[in-house]
Amino acid sequence: MSPFLLRILLPILLLVVILPQKSNGEFEQWCVADVQATDVELQAAIDYTCGEGGADCSKIQENQPCYFPNTLVNHASYAFNAYYQKFKHNGASCYFNSAAITTEKDPSYGSCHYDYTP
């Protein structure tokens, strides 16, 4: 194999090995708050997801495992992901009026576990 071809193929192969991937070829994705979103956008999206949206936001309540850090971005990230994982197979997206983004990096920390639904 030529050195030129190796320089092209090696980085591609490394990405395939490094990125988390399910056996069916899907990459694991979580939905989190976009740090560029405004507080107003984040709060409106939290109100929706934890209210009429039907996401389980109990873990971001006081004295629960995902309450700290008690910031709008962290609470929004948990709420967005809870909604996204629950409804993504029904066509839900990770958008929330551009207040959210997807990530392949598990956002869980300490005793706060972010769900992932294959």
Within a domain: 108: no
Within a domain: 98: yes
> Residue 5 in 3-state DSSP?
helix
Q: Which pLDDT score, from 0 to 100, does residue 55 have?
A: 98
Count of domains observed in the chain: 1
Instruction: Report how far residue 64's alpha carbon sits from residue 2's, in angstroms, rounded to the nearest whole number.
Output: 57
Write out the chain's pLDDT in tens, 118 residues.
Answer: 666 544 665 555 444 444 444 445 568 999 999 999 999 999 999 999 999 999 999 999 999 999 999 999 999 999 999 999 999 999 999 999 999 999 999 999 999 999 999 9
Within a domain: 13: no
Q: Which pLDDT score, from 0 to 100, does residue 5 have?
A: 47
Task: Confirm if 114 and 107 have CB atoms less than 8 A apart.
Answer: yes
Q: Which pLDDT score, from 0 to 100, does residue 21 have?
A: 47
Within a domain: 15: no
Q: Which pLDDT score, from 0 to 100, does residue 23 have?
A: 46
pTM listed for this prediction: 0.79
Range of the domain at 71: 21-103
- Phi and psi at 91, nearest 5°, equal 100, 0
Q: Which pLDDT score, from 0 to 100, does residue 15 have?
A: 46
26 by Cβ neighbours in 10 Å (0-12 / 13-18 / 19+) ranks as exposed
Q: Which pLDDT score, from 0 to 100, does residue 6 have?
A: 47
Within a domain: 118: no
Task: Catalogue the E-assigned strands of the chain.
Answer: 30-33, 100-103
Matching residue, tokens 């694991």: 28
Within a domain: 116: no
